Amino acid sequence: MSVQGGAIEDLRATVGLQIDDEQLLRKLAGGLNAVEELLRETVRSDVKAVNDAASHLVEAGGKRFRPMFTLLSAQFGEKENEDHVIIAAAAVELVHLATLYHDDVMDEATMRRGAESVNARWDNTIAILTGDFLFAHSSRLVADLGTDAARIIAETFGELVTGQMRETVGPSDGEDPVEHYLTVIAQKTGSLIATAGRFGGMMSGAPDDYIDSLRRFGDIIGTAFQISDDILDIASESDELGKAQGTDLREGVRTLPMLYALADPATDLRLVELLAGPISDDAQVTEALDLLRASAGLDRARATLSDYAQRARAELASLPASPARDACESVADYLVARTH
């Protein structure tokens, strides 16, 4: 979804932002349009094959939550360098897009954001190289923001890769599967959103304690986003999700509601059997979804999500009252509300 043409209202609804302040709304709209233009400019290449593959997901759009959060976080400083904020916002989105190219290869996905995935349209090699291309350009953008920013984005790359490795290898012997999963999603999702908040605060000259709060909020809310998606993949119908229902079940990914269900001695043994591996049969997917909805795992996952949302709101308490802080708080409320 592009934010061109003042589509900020659509984006606000998508990520749950409630922004009543017209001045802030206009500022975010202008910033997001600038980010969108920079994204298109950055991925452009004279080599047609590179240009086509790199622009594929940029043109497909998306929530753009990470650049939005960068722009929001920049409202907490008094010396905002607007150009640097836009560069930082585009850089974090490029990192996010790069991970999507790689994820689609690992998941053997055929669709992404309503369009054919790059690995399906071209092949895995093109998708991997395109992701690398976007990582490279993100690093180039961040290089203009100073050595501290370059170090932070490098550390974030490390977190993203470590999270993916943890997920691929699985929990070690004796490790709690739930704690392992929460660590994985914190690294895979929370770390980049934390960096978005950190960059916004840094580029606006916000005090260090504000920057730390924005970083921690981003880390927690990123994890909450993934838990919320885990719940919706089970609790929502396909037409509400905009994608096939039970995707995690089909891929054999044990998400938080499933892990909680497996840890519950009262869980139906048939569900335990179904969760032993990937499910390819549509009837069995439907059966597993019905059993998961009836299990204690779903309610326990909702309780965990509420806890994360409460923790996220608590991190914002040290920030000054403002429309930007209200907007951040609304995201935490939205993540809980969308799963009920």
Name the β-bridge partners of 112.
115
Which pLDDT belongs to residue 242? Answer: 46
Cβ pair 299, 271 in contact under 8 A: no
Return d(Cα 250, Cα 183) in angstroms, integer.
23
- pLDDT for the residue numbered 77: 94
Three-state secondary-structure class, residue 264: coil
121-130, 188-197, 236-245: which range is least confident on average? 236-245
- DSSP conformation class of 112: E
- For 26, what's the count of Cα atoms within 13 Å in the CB-facing half-sphere? 3
Q: Is the pLDDT of residue 205 over 70?
A: yes
DSSP secondary structure letters along 46-115: SSHHHHHHHHHHHHH----HHHHHHHHHGGG-SS--HHHHHHHHHHHHHHHHHHHHHHHHHHT-SEETTE
Name the pTM for this structure.
Answer: 0.91
Domains of the chain: 8-337 (1.10.600.10)
- The contacts of residue 86 (CB under 8 Å, 6+ apart) are 31, 34, 35, 38
Report, as an integer, the average pLDDT of 162-191.
95
What does the pLDDT look like over 14-70, one tens digit per residue? 466 788 888 998 899 999 999 999 999 999 999 998 898 888 888 887 789 999 999
Q: What pLDDT is stored for residue 340 in this prediction? A: 74
Q: What is the mean pLDDT of residues 174-193?
A: 97
Residue with the larger pLDDT of the pair 108 and 232: 232
Vertex 234: Cα angle to 232 and 238 (nearest 5) = 75
Closest CA to 287 of 339, 249, 239, 236: 249
Say if residue 117's pLDDT is above 90. no
> What is the per-residue pLDDT for 10?
52
pLDDT (average), residues 230-248: 72
Amino acid at 301: A
